Structure 1
């Protein structure tokens, strides 16, 4: 009975402990006695502080007080005047050396609480620091979660959804065990008397994290053996979730943390192997998850009682979640940016000819078709120039394909430099080049074509110490009303054929009624 306990009838049954940690491994309520080793004056406004209470519920019997003071972060006994850092009970009359405070502790988590007596001013200062840290961490995780869902909804990338679900589960786990859930009524009701909800959020977070990491590193394709090991961990987590529905025994928490640590180890090994293979994603994973791996190991050691529960761990663990999420969000964005660069590179390779720098045939045909449609809609002129290199086959036969390639490259450079910035220049095939001239009538296009011709025959080409004379034959046509791009090209090609038939090194324009030659 409480009356007998606080009367000292069972004092001989209390066992001294080596530190100031209140650690329970059983859920059934147990008694603890805290005895002052020196006087605590009432003028200092001393406060009994039980740090890191998590989901534990405590009844505190003060000296000469017949009724207990209930304390908990959630539910009955929640004290909104203090932060979630600790359970705080005022020692209004002070505490003399040798006097005892009795605690009846119902533990819903095996993590230790640290008992101390602090002046009220110190409690307030530490509460302010705690609130600042927790606000920064939780706000960061909320923002990252919202951003992830936003990116997923906007671009449809599944990786963002998986990361957001991981962050959301981690966030719910932190606020359940950290006490901030008391500000959310339905969560407070869910968690206050039952540790299963918070533990389930933690297990879901681990499961989601493992799934994201496997997807992010493409483990199924790149490291199938480690992927199989990670799947074993995931199956174990699912089994622990089922067990959690039936019991909140501390052994389940120990097993869950052990599986978590093994899973982190597998992911870290996969990241290290990926880094050795110069996998860019692996660098981000190691940077984000290495601190969490260490912190999880320390937390597991504290859970087993191998070391204490230092105050900095209360902040390092949630900060590790937030920083890990931030680095992974950056890494995921970097991966998508790399995919975009690769796509742009592939698109450029498909759009531009590697030898001449001109557009490829599919690209110039698509641009010509769009230009023709635009010209018809706006009723603005459009002309094309079709040309090829005179006697190009002879150059290849006499000097080799390497010289032929250099000839095409130099001619493309010379002619492209004579065009306007908005003119289109494409390699149609072999030595044939198509030039699209928006907002250009036939007479102007003939002048442009003559300028192209003179850019080539004005001086020989210097290739491998040889001077090679070269010239162009060009055909020009202006778009007619309702004319298709295909028919426009046919007329330009006919004009080009006319130039070659007339002796080459000349420009021929094709009008609607006849081919008109501009001879130089």
Structure 2
């Protein structure tokens, strides 16, 4: 919507027709007196379109003339687009005093620094030229346009809002991911925060916002180097983020090593950018563009490989970065081949970065869900017996202890059943351990059928199981135990085509005033189980009276 609005405003703006000419051969700025006096007018060569193309080697002079006298009551405004790296001196009639303009210095004007905007005399005539001297800069054509003050303000306002809108979206996702990093302490979130932070700073300096407000204006003396520095730092962290997010060390180790090695030249370039004595134009600018032309396809290949390997993260990465990386390639080509920057590209790149931030935030959220799912699985595996699927000994004892505390605090009943599969050793010896495992799994269903929601079943060890019945009285527990015993006894069990009769001996114990700990309750259920075993098996016995001597119980204290 914002891009469409900008396109409509630019298309609908009425630009004043003008003639643009370039001085050939170029003269230094010190020749300003001769040039503004008209002594060199014969050497100005008309340009085919309204643009000024600086030179890396030396400054260049341009002359602008309106096609007709300015008659609008609102003063005309000259806009010089894509002002990064430009140092412009403007000579306006009638005095033709030189005024230096740059996005890196405050000029006290009413416009933002998205473009270099110069208010021209409101009585400017067609026979009054405006002279511009461009210092050495990248040889990329810069659009020139003259509109009235109202249109210039409208353009500037829309540009200013878009200059803030897209970085604001990225900052919002950055803060969310920062909170995730603080909680989870995973490096991938730190890399996301770092890359988005430097991308936002790059956008601020690219649009001129960074040179306008403290503390970002601290880097204004670096000029265009500040923009380059932020782009390099963003590229370094984006590379590290891709390696972590796509899990390249495991999925594509060779490409991971290439990307890891590519970070070091980027670090070296970042140091060169801020090093004193290095020209801000020329070979360094070409090397930067070449580096991005190499890095962007590598990142696209990394995302494609991760996606082809079935990784959801690869899909998120491609969805997020295909538009942005293609625009990065286009921008690098535009700078390398000295194409004029299209109007739409000014905001397409920040919009693509904002889109990438949103999609990657969803990808990282999905990563959190995956981690939680994996941890839930690990927790379940740790809590459950691998053979039978019921709770492990440690887990069932933990459930009992929790139920014990609640029962004591709320003065509610609590019962425990201790179950033992009769003649289990005989089954193992006769049919093998595989058949024994089959029997252990088979008795789970009839036991679980008689349990309520909130009851717990766990394997205590070997062929023994423990059932915790919160809120169950003696009568309730005995009824449950008897139904379980009967279900197992009546359960058809075939092993190698032979029917095997399975039975359970069960001990019942309930929470009495003299039961001091959960271990005491287990010992009483164990003692009751001993009674069932000694009474002929396939019985339910309930512990009554004092605890039997240790010799008459089958087990020691719980873990």
**Alignment TM class, shorter chain as reference:** 0.7 to 0.9
The residue that corresponds to 1:22 in the other structure is: 52
1:139 aligns with 2:168: yes
Matches within 5 A, 1:326-337: 326-337=358-369
Q: Which moved more, 1:382-391 or 1:314-323?
A: 382-391
Alignment of 1:38-187 (within 5 A): 40-43=70-73, 45-77=75-107, 79=109, 81-93=110-122, 95-97=124-126, 99-106=128-135, 112-187=141-216
Output the CA distance in 2 between the equivalents of 1:21 and 1:297: 23
User: 2:544 aligned to 511, 515, 520, which one?
Assistant: 511
Q: Distance in 2 between matches of 1:460 and 1:468?
A: 10
Q: CA separation in 1, counterparts of 2:336 and 2:34? A: 32
Q: State the Cα distance separating 1:101 from its structure 2 match.
A: 1.9
Check the 8 A contact 2:142/2:340 in 1, yes or no: no
Relative to structure 1, the CA distance from residue 185 to residue 60 in structure 2 (aligned partners, 3 Å threshold; closer, same or farther) is same
1:176 CA displacement:
1.6
| 1:499 is the counterpart of 2:532 | yes
- Any idea what SS the aligned residue of 1:461 has? coil
How many corresponding residue pairs?
Answer: 513
Among 234, 242, 260, which residue is 1:213 paired with? 242
Q: Point out where structure 1 has 5 or more consecutive residues left out of the alignment.
A: 516-520
Tell me by how many angstroms 1:262 deviates.
1.2
Give the counterpart of 1:429 among 435, 453, 461.
461
Supply the distance in 2 between the matched residues of 1:46 and 1:466 (Cα, whole angstroms). 103
Distance 2:123 2:80 in 1: 17
Once the two structures are TM-superposed, the CA of residue 511 in structure 1 deviates from its matched residue by: 3.1
Match of 2:319 in 1: 287
Q: Which SS does the other structure have where 1:48 is aligned?
A: strand
Q: Within 5 A, what are the aligned runs for 1:165-244?
A: 165-191=194-220, 194-244=223-273
Q: For each residue in 1:399-434, what CA deviation from the matched residue of structure 2 results, as whole angstroms up to 9, or x when unmatched?
A: 777776565445322322322211111122343221
Residues 17, 460 of structure 1: CA spacing in aligned structure 2 closer, same or farther, 3 A cutoff? Answer: same
Structure 2 residue runs without a partner (length 5+): 1-30, 549-559
Aligned to 2:27: none
For the aligned residue pairs, the C-alpha RMSD in angstroms reads 3.1
The aligned residue for residue 518 of structure 1 is none
DSSP-derived class of the 1:75 partner: coil
Query: 2 CA distance for matches of 1:108 and 1:326?
Result: 35
Aligned partner of 2:378 among 341, 346, 369:
346
Equivalent position to 2:330, from 291, 298, 308: 298
Matches within 5 A, 1:439-450: 439-450=471-482
Q: Secondary structure at the match of 2:132?
A: strand
For residue 304 of structure 2, the aligned residue among 259, 266, 272 is 272
Equivalent-residue separation in structure 2 for 1:466 and 1:308 (angstroms): 87
On the 8 A contact 1:54/1:177 being kept in 2, the answer is yes
Change (3 A) 1:189 1:394: closer
Kept in 2, the 8 Å contact 1:460–1:467? The answer is no
Q: 1:252 to 1:399 in 2, by over 3 A?
A: same
- 2:215 partner SS: helix
Cα offsets for 1:206-257 (capped at 9, x unmatched):
1111122122223233323223322332221122122222224222122122
- SS of 1:476 mapped into structure 2: strand
Displacement of 1:342: 1.4
Query: Shift in Å at residue 285 of structure 1?
Result: 1.6
Would you say the 8 A contact 1:257–1:300 is kept in 2? yes
Contact 2:324 2:356 in 1 (8 A): yes
Q: CA deviation at 1:90?
A: 2.9
3-state SS, counterpart of residue 443 of structure 2 = helix
Counterpart of 1:313 (choices 345, 362, 366) is 345
TM-score, normalised by the number of residues in structure 2: 0.82
